[in-house]
Amino acid sequence: MSTTPIIQPGQIEAPSGDIPFIYISPRDNVFRDRAGRLRQLAEGHVMKDFLLFMAELTEAQHAALAVFPKAELPTEAEIKLCREHGMPPLSVQSWPRNTVWQEALKKIIVDVMRTATPATKEILLRLQALDSDALETFATAILAGEFEDVDLGAAPFVAAALQVYWTHMATTLGAQAFGANDISNLCPVCASPPVSSILRIGGAENALRYLCCSVCNTQWHMVRVKCTNCESTKGISYFAIAGSSGAVKAETCEECGTYLKIMQMDKDQYVDPIADDLATLALDLMMDETGKLRSGPNLFLISTSAMAV
Ligand SMILES: [Zn+2]
Ligand SMILES: [Zn+2]
């Protein structure tokens, strides 16, 4: 394990006035690029089969988003009110979720069934047998971060469909619809915790750090050298896997005892908040040994133990 500071404490990025607060990936790219990245990461990886299957699942998300049915969105007045009060208009807790996300789930199941192993097929058939109410209960548990009683094998597929639904809404409304959230470590669009953070390159976002939503794929700005969980600026350290490119590090906080991965586009421009997280599980295992808890979930790999709540 090696530790490398990304920038020195005290080095503050500026100017805040011109910083684009929200970055939303183009609708046509988000899942397709991620699927490509997963395939790239799978090459020669010890978890090759897993990453390739995740690529299939992500490809299915791309296809489901492309034909996503018309779904109700907040009105302009509601969006304005939320912006004025620093509230996420599409909160996973309070937005009246439309069952239309289940259409995406059905499509995803059919798509991934084609190449699934017998064990995964069994999970998919189990999921297909659930009625609409049971799927809503499942979705509510995942979005609330209550993973104790959920079917962990089936959870990635339900999460994948929910990601498609929320990504549909976020990309339809666009970045200009959303303002800053009062709680800076939750997504300003859907109030979910981040899966990881990313140092972006290019355009107005160059060299800025964004937190990446675990549900709707929105990225929102947060200054560097600050814990993404408790906002402490003290006791922040960075750990990378020895011998790696250093494009993915674990950012740890002594104050709250948590970590979240940070991806650097200047070291690898193709890093993806979810794909690169899945491909660096070794880093999670290292953090687990230090007793640090992860502060945000990857919904493709939820666990009931190693999360800070
Ligand atoms: Zn979100
Ligand atoms: Zn902290």
Whole-number pLDDT of residue 206: 86
193 CA from centroid of ligand 1 (Å): 8
Confidence check: pLDDT of 302 > 90: no
Mean pLDDT, the chain, integer: 91
User: Which chain residues have CB less than 5 Å from ligand 1, an ion?
Assistant: 187, 189-190, 192, 213, 215-216, 218
Distance of alpha carbon 122 from alpha carbon 126, whole angstroms: 6
1 CA from centroid of ligand 1 (Å): 32
Contact, 221 vs 209, CB < 8 A? yes
226 CA from centroid of ligand 2 (Å): 8
Whole-number pLDDT of residue 9: 40
Distance of alpha carbon 279 from alpha carbon 263, whole angstroms: 12
Nearest ligand, CA of residue 187? 1
Confidence check: pLDDT of 278 > 80: yes
Nearest ligand, CA of residue 186? 1
Whole-number pLDDT of residue 282: 94
Closest CA to 309 of 214, 196, 193: 193
**Class of 26-177 in CATH:** alpha beta
Whole-number pLDDT of residue 198: 97
Whole-number pLDDT of residue 183: 86
User: Tokens at residue 152, please?
Assistant: 């962990």
Q: How many CB atoms lie within 10 A of CB 173?
A: 18
**Average pLDDT, stretch 50-75?**
96
Whole-number pLDDT of residue 260: 97
249 CA from centroid of ligand 2 (Å): 16
Domain map (residue ranges) of the chain: 2-9+192-294, 26-177
121 CA from centroid of ligand 1 (Å): 29
Same fold, 2-9+192-294 and 26-177: yes
**Average pLDDT, stretch 81-102?**
95
Contact, 19 vs 208, CB < 8 A? yes
Compute the radius of gyration of the chain from its Cα atoms.
19
Q: What is the 3-state secondary structure (H, E, C) of the chain?
A: CEECCCCCCCCCCCCHHHCCCEEECCCCCHHHHHHHHHHHHHCCCCCHHHHHHHHHHHHHHHHHHHCCCCCCCCCHHHHHHHHHHCCCCCCCCCCCCCCCHHHHHHHHHHHHHCCCCHHHHHHHHHHHCCCHHHHHHHHHHHHCCCCCCCCCCCHHHHHHHHHHHHHHHHHHHCHHHCCCCCCCCCCCCCCCCEEEEEECCCHHHCCCEEEEECCCCEEEECCCCCCCCCCCCCCEEEEECCCCCCCEEEEEECCCCEEEEEEECCCCCCCCCCHHHHCCHHHHHHHHHHCCEECCCCCCCCCCCCECC
**Average pLDDT, stretch 50-54?**
96
Long-range contacts of 149-152 (CB under 8 A, 24+ apart): 150/302, 151/123, 151/126, 151/127, 152/302, 152/303, 152/304
234 CA from centroid of ligand 2 (Å): 9
Considering only 18-27, 119-128, 292-301, which range has the smallest mean pLDDT? Answer: 18-27
Report strand pairing: 293-294 vs 218-221.
unpaired
Q: What percent of the chain lies above the pLDDT cut of 70?
A: 92
User: Tokens at residue 174, please?
Assistant: 């666009």
Considering only 10-19, 36-45, 187-196, which range has the smallest mean pLDDT? Answer: 10-19
Considering only 1-5, 55-59, 111-115, 190-194, which range has the smallest mean pLDDT? Answer: 1-5
| 226 backbone dihedrals φ, ψ, rounded to 5° | -145, 135
**Average pLDDT, stretch 217-235?**
93
Task: Assign 180 a pLDDT band (cuts: 50, 70, 90).
Answer: confident
131 CA from centroid of ligand 1 (Å): 26
Ramachandran category for residue 6: left, alpha or beta (phi over 0 → left; psi -120 to 50 → alpha): alpha
Whole-number pLDDT of residue 225: 82
Whole-number pLDDT of residue 308: 55
Nearest ligand, CA of residue 251? 2
Closest CA to 229 of 198, 264, 253: 253
Whole-number pLDDT of residue 12: 42
Confidence check: pLDDT of 307 > 80: no
109 CA from centroid of ligand 1 (Å): 23
Whole-number pLDDT of residue 40: 98
Confidence check: pLDDT of 5 > 50: no
Residue with tokens 């390159």: 201
Residue 225 vs residues 8, 55, 201, 246, 255: alpha-carbon distances, Å: 8, 32, 17, 17, 13
pLDDT in tens, 119-176: 999 999 999 999 999 999 999 999 999 999 899 999 999 999 999 999 999 999 999 9
Tell me the fold of 2-9+192-294. Answer: FdhE-like fold (3.90.1670)
Nearest ligand, CA of residue 259? 2
Nearest ligand, CA of residue 258? 2
